[in-house]
Chains A and B, each alone.
Chain A
């Protein structure tokens, strides 16, 4: 009995192949460190866009009347917001042919990912509350997040905070990306992983593992983006973007897998 659909496998293969092919394509078109704006931005729009389209389809199939559908609607809204941010970013670089302001309009959409995804993830954690005690996973996840905050502080924040050339708002936005990643993505994602882990081999836990993996990649890319925008080394289509391409593709694969595992299957023993 096949549980994982062709759609899910195809999306997973597409996410990995498209991400690495795009990275190669961007590098092949980069001359003297300069990437044509369209080349640098197109992969983000296409790869993230396909992921968002699949997630919208999944939410439509699950329906908003069901808690599981609403959880995925929030996660979809988060991915869609980030995707719109990428489109606005590309608009500045490709159409207006000007540097993207920082902080600017794209940040509004990028930062909206955090509260939207956090609502979806915390809803998913609380969904298991009638079966499992979620306080221990939440406490453990908070401890891990506190350690991660300390690590990012010493690795990134101290240096950026000491930079006299950055304005206060630039510093705040620079800090908000990694902090949002840690406390609004990784914290609930880790709590969800620990909670869903109690399902052991149950297949309803599978998609949540992939969600956690996806947001880990997004968080890693965000931290590198913070450093890249601070020292002015970030360029659209760089390896940092690969973290977003793979991360959001993984979240979309998880959505598709959720639809697979939630679908009733013909077991041959259900009375007609």
Chain B
């Protein structure tokens, strides 16, 4: 699946779909492309945005596990 779909699927049970979407849209704005167009090269930017926007209300262990899950799904 795409980075967009995997990220939504992993983050939604934790923070809900709206928060996952907001996080991806923020990354898209910074990268100057639409979230649906994200490829493997954009992964690090998306992960940085996840860490930046969610670390204040999420434990680092849970956040890193979520990121690892997305990486594994991306192969």
Contacts and interface: CB of A to CB of B under 8 A. Distances in A.
A129 B17 CA distance: 17
Interface string A64-83: 00111000000000000000
B7 to A, nearest CB: 14
A203 B13 contact: yes
Contacts of B57: 67-68, 124, 127-128, 204
Interface residues of B, number: 27
B54 to A, nearest CB: 7
Contacts of B16: 198-202, 205
Given A199-B19, A200-B16, A262 B69 contact: no
B2 interface: no
Interface stretch (A32-40, A111-119, A263-271): A263-271
B65 A199 contact: no
B1 interface: no
Contacts of B12: 201-202
Contacts of B30: none
A132 interface: yes
B22 interface: yes
A203 B65 CA distance: 15
B39 to A, nearest CB: 21
B18 A67 contact: no
B56 A127 contact: yes
B60 A66 contact: yes
B28 to A, nearest CB: 15
Interface in B1-55: 12-19, 22-23, 52-55
B65 A67 contact: no
A112 B60 CA distance: 30
Contact of A262 (B13, B52, B58): B58
A202 B68 contact: no
Interface in A129-152: 129-132
B69 A130 contact: no
Nearest to A126: B56
A255 to B, nearest CB: 13
A19 B54 CA distance: 36
Contacts of B58: 68, 204, 262
A62 interface: yes
B56 A130 contact: yes
Nearest to B56: A127
A85 to B, nearest CB: 30
Contact of B55 (A67, A124, A263): A67
Nearest to B15: A202
Contacts of B53: 130-131
30 contacts: A62-B59, A67-B55, A67-B57, A68-B57, A68-B59, A127-B56, A128-B57, A130-B54, A130-B56, A131-B23, A131-B53, A200-B17, A200-B18, A201-B12, A201-B13, A201-B16, A204-B15, A205-B16, A262-B58, A262-B61, A263-B59, A264-B61, A264-B62, A265-B65, A267-B65, A267-B69, A269-B69, A269-B72, A271-B68, A271-B72
Interface of B: 12-19, 22-23, 52-62, 64-65, 68-69, 72-73
Query: 7 smallest A-B Cβ distances: which pairs?
Result: A202-B16, A127-B56, A200-B16, A264-B65, A127-B57, A202-B15, A262-B59
